[in-house]
Amino acid sequence: MTERSAGTALPAFAPDAALRAKLANLSLVSQRPHGHLHTGGRRSRATGSSLEFADHRSYSPGDDYRQIDWNIYARTDELFVKVRESEETLVVHLLLDVSGSMASGAPAKLVAAQAVLAALGWTALASRDVVAGAALGNDLGETFAPRQGEAYVARLFEFLDRQRPSGETGLSRAVTAYNARALPHGVAVLASDLLAPDAPRAIGSLAQRGHEVTVIHVLDDEFVNPAFADEVELVDAERGDALEVLGDGDLLRAYRQAIGDWTSDLQRFCHRRHVRYVPIRSNWPVEDIVLRRLREHGTLA
Partner 1 sequence: MTWAAPLAFAWAGLTLAVLAFFLLRPRRQRLVVASLFVWRRTIRARADDTWLAWLRRHSVLLLQLLAVVVFALVLARPERLATVELGPPVALVMDVSASMAMADGDGRQRIELARAEAAAFVNSLEDERRVSLITAGAVPRTLAAQTSDRGEVTRLLSGIRAEASHGRLDAALDMARSLANPAAGGIVALFTDQPPAEASDPVYAGVRTVVVGEPAPNVALASFQVRRRLDDRDAVQGVVAVRNDGTAGAVAEVLVSAGRGSPTSRAIELAAGAREILVFDDLPAAPGYQAEVRAPDDRLPTDDLAFASLAEPSELSVVVVGNEPWPIVRALQAVPAVTAQAIAVDSYDQANSSADFYVFQGFTPEFLPPASAVFVQPRAMPALGLDSPANANTRPLAVADSPLLKSIDVGDLVSDSDVTYAVPPWAQVDLSVGERALLAHGVVYGRRTAVIGFDVAGPGVTQAPWFPVFWSNVVRWADPFAPLPDGADLEPGRPARLIPHPRADRVAVTNPGGDSTEFTVPEPAVLEVTVPGVYTVRQFVGQDLMAQTSIEFAPGLATRTVRGGDSAGPSAAVDSSQRIQDQTELWPWLAVLALALVLVEWWIFHRVRGVR
- Residues near partner 1, by CB under 8 A: 101-105, 109, 169, 193, 195-197, 220, 223, 226, 228, 230-239, 241, 243-251, 254-255, 257-259, 262
Nearer to partner 1, 83 or 235 (CB): 235
Contact in structure between 165 and 110 (CB atoms under 8 Å): yes
Give the dihedral of Cα atoms 249, 251, 256, 258; nearest 10 deg: 160
DSSP type of residue 288: I
179: buried, middle or exposed (CB in 10 Å: 19+, 13-18, 0-12)? buried
In whole angstroms, how close is the CB of 200 to partner 1 at the nearest point? Answer: 13
Nearest alpha carbon to residue 273 among 216, 205, 217: 205
In whole angstroms, how close is the CB of 106 to partner 1 at the nearest point? Answer: 12
Nearer to partner 1, 97 or 161 (CB): 97
Residues facing 12 on adjacent strands: none
The whole-angstrom separation of Cα 138 and Cα 97 is: 9
Nearer to partner 1, 210 or 247 (CB): 247
Nearer to partner 1, 121 or 165 (CB): 165
In whole angstroms, how close is the CB of 12 to partner 1 at the nearest point? Answer: 22
In whole angstroms, how close is the CB of 105 to partner 1 at the nearest point? Answer: 7
Nearer to partner 1, 78 or 241 (CB): 241
Q: Checking phi first, is residue 96 left (phi over 0); if not, alpha (psi -120 to 50) or beta?
A: beta
In whole angstroms, how close is the CB of 168 to partner 1 at the nearest point? Answer: 10
